[in-house]
Structure 1
Amino acid sequence: MCQMKERCVAVMERNKSLFLGRKIIFCVTLSALIISIETFFHQSIGTNILKPDKISNYIIAQKKPNSVFLSLVESSSDLLYVYCEIEVKNAPFIWEKDIQSWFNITNHISISHKNHSLGTVKLDLENTQSLYKNRRKGYQVLGEIIERHDLNRLRRWNGLSEYGIYSGRKATFNDVIMFSNGWIIHKTKQLAVRNGGCLSENKLQMHNVTVTRYKRVVSIAVFWGEGAWHFPMEALVGLAYVTDTEQWSSFIHVTQKNKLVLQWLKLVGINEKRVIHGTILADYLIVPETGKCGSPSQDHIQWLYKKVNISVPFKRNTVLLIKRNKSRVMPHFAKIQRFVEKFAKEANINFLLHDDNFLPSLHDQLQRFANASIVIGPHGGGMVNLIAAPKGTCVIEFSPMEANVCYMRLSYLLGLTYVAVPLYGNNTVKENKIKEALNYCQGKTNSNF
């Protein structure tokens, strides 16, 4: 803006012609317009960082097990220094029943997905048995559904029977401190809740916290909300229930402002300058319902699939093999790779290795999955890229015997063909089971394309 004003002054001094008056009027009008736009943006975004009140004292006696102790709140410039002992135990999750009504909850109108075609699920017998042995009732029910091949019950299940039905809720708070792990406490009252749904630290202890005060914030910060799977599928998808106006006029609060998080936010249209993390004080806070326990709703998944908007080639003829190097490494992976490469060559299919030691940008990773007709690999964060896979893609997951169905559920709700191959405790798989799964996928993809 300063450069434009200086340019206008230079124009006025340089031009002594008969048109000087017109140029002066033009420059004055342009400057006034710029100042008006700047003022508007400052009112909506730029001045969301507010100077806190003058020194205030908050002393709260312990009356309940769940208490917040704030001994002194002192302000300086745009920062709020909180010299305190904050100790809260077992605060409820936002969406639990019978919570004291100290914040507002509204419901989003969910989109009907009746005409959306769901995928297919094929589990190895050992994987089905592992569902029965799981401690979670929902997994046991799923094992029975799959064993009986009950498609109607599978359609109704949608992976949510254990957790209840999403209703697209959104909570709003006033004058609260928000932490990067999803904890929310009222600044002056003995009240606290947690964002998320199944995992969280059940005790919050903080000492001498420094926070920045914001006017309007949308928070999608949750426990583990910085992870490769957890951020897009638990945190980010919460933005499905936030209006464009709410997003545009607010800062977006996340668990951790890391490279991966910023890439995902950029994909859905969030500017990095509006992203904040850490402990904050919000005059007005919006918290949308996130993907509970690694199980985003169908609304969540369809919203993110459309937002990602990766182009899909007309003809897809690639088998993509995922390789893990940093954790849960498969000891005989080289043998598996040779086997899959041989299969691809004999089937006249292109082969691509998705190696987590040599990953391209997030956009290019998603493009790889959009190009693939078959995706195969071990359970892990790499499979979150299935969000870009179009209907008909066949997914072979080396699925742990302790059972985790997050990628099966994602594939099912995206309309993909999902096949589970047992991944044993020593991170090994059986070659004959891989071969069976690849042949099944080849038959499916040939019928789809």
Structure 2
Amino acid sequence: MDESTVDVVIKPRVLLVDDEESILNSLRRLLRSQGYELFLADSGARALEIMASQSIDLVISDARMPNMDGATLLARIHELYPNCLRILLTGYADMDMIVKAINQGRIYRYISKPWNDEELLLTITQGLAFQHSERERQRLQVLVREQNRQLQALNATLEKRVISRTSEVQQTADMLDLAYEELKRSYAVTAEVFSRMVEWRLPKDKQTNRAIIDLVKVYCKTHVMDEAASRDLAMAAALHNIGKMSWTDSMMGAPADLLHHTDRERYRGYPKQSESLLMTLEPMQDAARLILHHQERWDGTGFPDHLRGEAIPLGSRVLKLAVDFIELQHGLILERQMNSDEALVFIRKYSGKLYDPDLVEDFIKVCSEYLSDVTLGDPTVQVLGTRELAAGMILARNLNADNGMLLLNAGKVLSAPLVEKLIAFEAMEGGKYSVFVKVPEDVALLEQAQ
């Protein structure tokens, strides 16, 4: 049988490094049934000896070890074996160690002790899949360069046959273009995988990335953006908050306006940290720039660079609208969770201050047409203060107090005494309610005409 037709299954090789024998045994028991070839080392020096004699695909190293700590070991492995995937295992809240591992060791992920078995197994599986994708990308790049070299040699030696070979050369070039575009698309898929990893840090009611990605994709589709710009914006939506991975769980789910001074400074630094983590990946550099500036404000009071107006990249302005719209509904900006209409009213209120005034109404229109729970685009629905209400109006949405308590259900017909009670309750609470009410369609059309 021709050996070229035989599929050889190669087990991924995983090196486990820890100075505690009990930890190594726990990891070995967890991984031995997963189809990996395992190697164990009780020190950084022993790990480097194994690396010198074996082709290792992935290293999981403890952070705190005598003589050579995990960050130093992974930095050395990155220098000698850059294609080997690196994971840091730490039982300490040591940001200096983590930063060192990220900057010098270019680690794939860090995991805290005690680890969650399912999370660890999933991280390893995804890491090895990502590594396989990278190796395939490198193989295709080598193939592209070799084919380009062959084409150049062909052009130099067979100049007289150029016309007859034009069609064949064009087909080859098209195939190469398609291969490169496929690589870019694979990065977009990888971005969404990483996005899910960020969301695992949050309870379900605080997970926003999927909704932000979907909203950005709808916006790109309705505005017929070119494929590259759409892909960059979608990747930015997926990874805009990857810089929050080092935050505590409590900070991850807290409203931004309630953060104390130290946490607020960390919050203002997450766009820059997200951008720094992605800039080393060439296909993600444009998306990283959008992430860096997505918390800038139209009036120049945003961060990190206080850009103003059109100096803010267009994609960053769109991303801020999408992020704020979704996060307002999940209580990640203000303590009170808004419904979709209230979030859009908030965005409209701060048009020209936080948001690009030329984008706001268009964004509201997109939300109204493609999100089923938005009523703001309905011409028969108006947003009124309590003192503008009149008997006979019908609530278009539930009315909640600022503390979340339900006051009135959608569909309720207002009466004069009920309006007076709402005004009195609002004054007692010291709040200001936005009430969504339906008005007769002929009146709404007359107001639009005026």
**Shorter-chain TM-score range:** under 0.3
Larger Rg: 2
- Bigger helix fraction: 2
Instruction: Give the number of the structure with larger relative contact order, counting CA–CA contacts within 8 Å between residues 6 or more apart.
Output: 1
- Bigger strand fraction: 1
The TM-score, its normalising length taken from structure 2, stands at 0.25
